[in-house]
A = this chain, B = another copy of it.
Amino acid sequence: LDALTAVRSDLVAANRILGREEILDAFGHVSARIPGEPEHFLLSRARSPELVEEGDLLEFGLDGEPVADGPRSYVERYIHAAIYAARDDVTWICHNHALSILPFSLSDTSLRPVIHTAGFLAAGVPVWDIFDDSADTSSLLVRSIDAGRSLAKCLGDASVALLRAHGSVVVGRSAPELVRRCTVLDRNARVQQAAERLGTYRPLQGPDGAPWQGDPDATNPRDNRDWEYFQKRAGLR
């Protein structure tokens, strides 16, 4: 029960923080796997992240369907279900439409790590294109568990995937890590966007010319001081 209480509280905090930091706007969502129940996850009812309260949290199975009858849920809950099903190591997921990453979802220029905290991007940032996958492109939304599985397959072992003309999914192993990855991804995209236009842009690489393979965990502060900082900015402390 204690672990669940903590996850529920962190899930509300992550929703509000990512709203405050404008990673999420009216849309997008954050979920968490239920501790000790790996086949279930928590996600808010269909509500804007910055407004989410604990009473809004609903429980879902790995088919993306709610465990119990309840209020309307997000159409794209299948994104979360399919990734939790495919990735045992993942306990937190954010689907967002941050403005900074969208141009990279449209371009042949790949997102790559250009700042020291972005080591988790070194394995590559795949782009999932619904046009390659589905005859139904009326909304570009991930409306079914099959579409979710296609996206999860594209994500593979990566920490981030882009959805062409739509947004991104970011995965993590705790609320602070998820928030850190979302905010670092946003900063990295802003810096890369500017760097690509500034004279000769040198990709980050060692003397041997091989792309940088940063340790994704090397810059995770053990003190979680960014979590304290983001909570303060969101009015949660």
By a beta-carbon cutoff of 8 Å, the part of chain A in contact with chain B is 25-27, 46-48, 50-51, 72, 75, 97, 99, 102-104, 106-109, 113-117, 119, 131-132, 137-141, 164-167, 183, 187, 190-191, 193-202, 204-207, 212, 214-215, 218-219, 221-223, 225-226, 228-230, 232
Rounded to whole angstroms, the CA-CA distance of A206 and B199 in the bound complex is 24
Given the interface pairs A198-B193, A219-B139, A228-B48, the reply to whether A115 lies near B102 with Cβ below 8 Å is yes
Closest Cβ of chain B to A89, distance in Å, is 20
Given the interface pairs A197-B197, A212-B137, A226-B26, the reply to whether A202 lies near B116 with Cβ below 8 Å is no
Q: Is the CB of A202 within 8 A of B107?
A: yes
Q: Is the CB of A116 within 8 A of B104?
A: no
Query: From DSSP, what is the main secondary structure of chain A's interface residues?
Result: loop
- 7 A-B pairs in the complex with CB atoms less than 8 angstroms apart: A47-B225, A102-B115, A103-B194, A107-B198, A109-B199, A132-B207, A139-B219
Which B residues lie within 8 Å of A191 (CB)?
Answer: 99, 102-103, 106
Rounded to whole angstroms, the CA-CA distance of A102 and B46 in the bound complex is 34
